[in-house]
Structure 1
Amino acid sequence: MSPLRHSATLDVTAEQLDVLRAIDAETGLRARRAEARGLLGIDPALPGPGRYTLYGARFRQADAPGMTTACDPGDLADLERWIAEARTRADVVLVSVHSHEPGPTPEEPGEFLREFAHRAVDAGADVVAGHGPHFLRGVELYRGRPIFYSLGNIVSQIELADRLPAEDYANLPGLRQPTPGRYFDELSGHGRRLFAPHRRYWRSLVPVLTFDDGELTAARLHPVDLGFGAPVHRRGRPRLAGEAEAKEILTDVAELAAPYGTRVTAGADGIGELDVRGDG
């Protein structure tokens, strides 16, 4: 297990950057940095022209507002080294990455994650399997290697935990005679919030990949149903999705994969196929 830190930069227009400068000056934040400026010879909040570091965030002047993320160069280099090492020791190298952070939309991965996935393949990975946001994201075929930006939840049974730390119970002071089951029931608003009322958190995929002499020759996608709407003690266990559910899952995945130039089709047997001949 290795960390993959990343930085976020907020793009703002010239007018918005002027507003940030005014807030910095008029609230007294700039005055508080006087000692740092004297010691460093520079203002730590002004790393360069058109750039500002304020409120713990990085701002950059741009034509239009937005946000971008980038991998920490040191972490990325360390990970590339060990992926390359694995390449010398295995027929197939699978890199697993846990990342919740979204890109422009919740369904898109952060820019840093796509950067990492590409560099992982360049370093020797045959498959990159992402997880973290608890729902499915798109699939990309990069240099003939599949990148699953999130496979969602394969198992989701946190509500069946046998023990909880005292501080969790303390966060719900109105809970009487606390038990794990009562805690999660109260936390979820009796099934009205968090994961329980949202179908997309109870769907997943199990890819079955076939390699021949190091080349990906087939990728079958098995839709999985985790029991949306079932009682707590019955949901969260993976099972093959029924016909209607499988069709919906594969339709969603095909739409999520399309922006990467990756084609996903659904077979009559309810199993999807990743077009391994394409290359997004």
Structure 2
Amino acid sequence: MHVSRSESHKQDKQRKSRRMKRLFIVNMSMLAVIGVLIAAFYLTGSESKEGLDSLRGVREQGTAAENGSVGDGENGGEEAVKDGAAGQPTDEAGEDEGEVDSGAGADGAAGENAGAADEDLAGTGEGAAAREPDEQPDSPSAGDDGAGDPSPGMPADEEGAGAGGPEPSGETVRLSFVGDILLAANVQALMAKNGYDYPYAKSLSYLQGPDLMAGNLENPITKRGTPAQDKQFVFKGTPESLPALKEAGFDVVSLANNHTLDQGVEGLLDTIGYLDEAGLPNTGGGSDDQEAYEPVILEAKGVKVAYVGLSRVLPVGSWKAAPDRAGVAEAYGEAKQGIEAIKAAKAKADLVVVMVHWGIEKDDKPQEYQKQLGRRFIDAGADLVIGSHPHVLQGFETYKGKWIAYSLGNYIFNMTKTDKTKDTGVLDAVCTQTGSCELQFHPMRSEQSQPVPLEGEPAKALLARLSGNSFGATVDTQGYVKAKE
């Protein structure tokens, strides 16, 4: 049908008019919705603020994903035990004797801590001679986690570490700790097969929940080095294992132990370099004594925390850091340099944590020198003293309102028939800025070098044993550590 030009123009105007009306209605509707949202925002503003405040337990240090993804394991097993030994689980308390690999360094030669060159090491008898292996290791398959998939539960709340637990007054920071971490030998073979994140998989929430997470790294990280001589157990780990350690939640590691120089000074300096590349601060070892005794100072929630690494267990005196020698920060004799390092750290930080390698392997109780030394650390300014090396859990002691954890045992290590070396856990310390800390221990059991949280009667039994081995302190069925009244 033909339509005149005037009629067409009229229809166009009508269509434009209808479009304008529709646009007006839409705009008014949008304005009404915006008004409602603004009103709701002001009415619920206080509740929103409370919701944001409840998130303050998120780790301030983060997991540093910019450091790269976890290695795929393609070359992860190249440093593991060779000549068919990779499938044989080993450790310091029961490793197969006679398996020596000077290239990989996963096994050693002739008696760890066999003696000390310096007089202050050789004369003490502490850490100068390890016990002889008394049992043969287990022989589980490398791919079997041996644990099923029990629910690990949730780690304690940041404030007071859980319902019914004591709460320090004021703003708090949650510092958490584990014992020895071995990323070499049979553990390395397991990671090469199952992924570098394998050891942490079933305890991950306990590692990522705290504000700051720390442990003792029990092996050098290097692709070269010269294996230490006259040492029964010589370890060597690959740099590919470090991103997973960082991503698991660790913020700092101590290098002050009797394995850091298993691959010589070259291996020690490589370890520090690789840790720096992975974004993992470290303490207790260095290119000279100034660097070895220098604390790592981290900050969480505005609280500065200094970590000092010290070892009372060295195979020979030449491992000691000196002004002209790379090595480890030691605490023999009067531990003068260690004491001075603690005092200096206290001047720079709100809280001071001493991570110390000491004691006798497989002993449930600390030596008398450990008790005296731990108290001296506290007198110098330490707020927490965290021990490692015995490969078993030891108890707690309170001194002048501060806490000493004598040994947190093995966290990630080779497996043996020495049953109690499989008992492990994560220690939480909820601390105020003034140094008042409340402790809770989360009991775990290592299955195929993978810690698994314990529940029910097994958890209660482990905690009861810890309580019985403590001094002036008790550990209740929920893992809270309290001073005896």
- TM-score range relative to shorter protein: 0.5 to 0.7
Q: 3-state DSSP class of the match of 2:464?
A: helix
Q: Which amino acid aligns with 1:77?
A: K
Contact 2:363 2:392 in 1 (8 A): no
CA displacement, residues 152-172 of structure 1 (integer Å, 9 cap, x when unaligned): 011114xxxxxxxxxxxxxxx
CA distance in 1, matches of 2:413, 2:354: 22
Which 4+ stretches in 1 moved above 4 angstroms? 3-6
Q: Does residue 72 in structure 1 map to residue 333 in structure 2?
A: yes
Q: 1:215 deviation in Å?
A: 3.3
Which residue matches 2:430?
210
Distance 1:196 1:106 in 2: 16
**Take 2:412 and 2:390, find their aligned partners in 1: how far apart are those partners?**
13
Instruction: Note the alpha carbon deviations across 1:204-263, whole angstroms, 9 max, x for none.
Output: 131111112323242111111111xxxxxxx11122123232111101101001xx2112
Q: Which has the larger share of strand?
A: 1
Q: How does 1:111-150 map to 2 (within 5 A)?
A: 111-150=368-407
Deviations 1:8-46 (A, max 9, x none): 59xxxxxxxxxxxxxxxxxxxxxxxxxxxxxxxxxxxxx
Give per-residue Cα distances to partners, 1:94-144, cap 9 Å, x unaligned.
111112427xx9222122221111100100111111111110111101111
CA distance in 2, matches of 1:199, 1:155: 14
Q: Structure 2 matches for 1:169-188, cutoff 5 A? A: none
Distance in 1 (CA, whole Å) between partners of 2:124 and 2:423 is 30
Structure 2 counterpart of 1:196? 416
- Using the alignment, how far apart are the partners of 2:360 and 2:332 within structure 1? 12
1:90 aligns with 2:345: no
CA distance, structure 2, for counterparts of residue 217 and residue 85 of structure 1: 21
Q: Which amino acid aligns with 1:240?
A: P
Match of 2:411 among 154, 158, 161: 154
> Secondary structure of 2:411's match?
coil
1:244 aligned partner = 457
Amino acid in the other structure paired with 1:154: Y
Q: Over alpha carbons, which structure has the higher Rg?
A: 2
Tell me the equivalent position of 2:475: 264
Equivalent position of 2:468 in the other structure: 255
For the 8 Å contact 1:225–1:245, the answer to whether it is kept is: no
CA contact (8 A) 2:353 2:386 kept: yes
DSSP-derived class of the 2:444 partner = strand
d(CA) in 1 for partners of 2:437, 2:365:
26
* CA RMSD after TM alignment: 2.6
TM-score of the superposed pair, with normalisation by structure 2: 0.31
State the aligned residue count.
162
Q: How does 1:6-25 map to 2 (within 5 A)?
A: 7-8=124-125
Q: In 1, distance between residues paired with 2:438 and 2:368?
A: 28
Residue in 2 that maps onto 1:275: 482
Q: Distance in 1 between matches of 2:404 and 2:434?
A: 16
Q: Relative contact order: is structure 1 or structure 2 higher (C-alpha 8 Å, sep ≥ 6)?
A: 2
What residue identity is the alignment partner of 2:386?
A
* TM-score, length-scaled by structure 1: 0.53
Residues 412, 450 of structure 2: 8 Å contact kept: yes
Q: Deviations over 1:143-197 (max 9, x none)?
A: 111101111011114xxxxxxxxxxxxxxxxxxxxxxxxxxxxxxxxxxxxx522
Q: Give 1:223's aligned residue.
A: 443
SS at match of 1:215: coil
- Matched-pair identity in %: 26
- Matched letter for residue 101 of structure 1: I
Structure 1 residue 91: deviation in Å? 1.8
Give the distance between the partners of 1:242 and 1:130, measured in 2 at CA.
25
**Secondary structure, aligned partner of 1:97:** strand
Q: Quick one: which amino acid aligns to residue 265 of structure 1?
A: D
SS at match of 1:130: strand
Which ranges in structure 1 are unaligned for 5 or more consecutive residues? 10-69, 158-194, 228-234
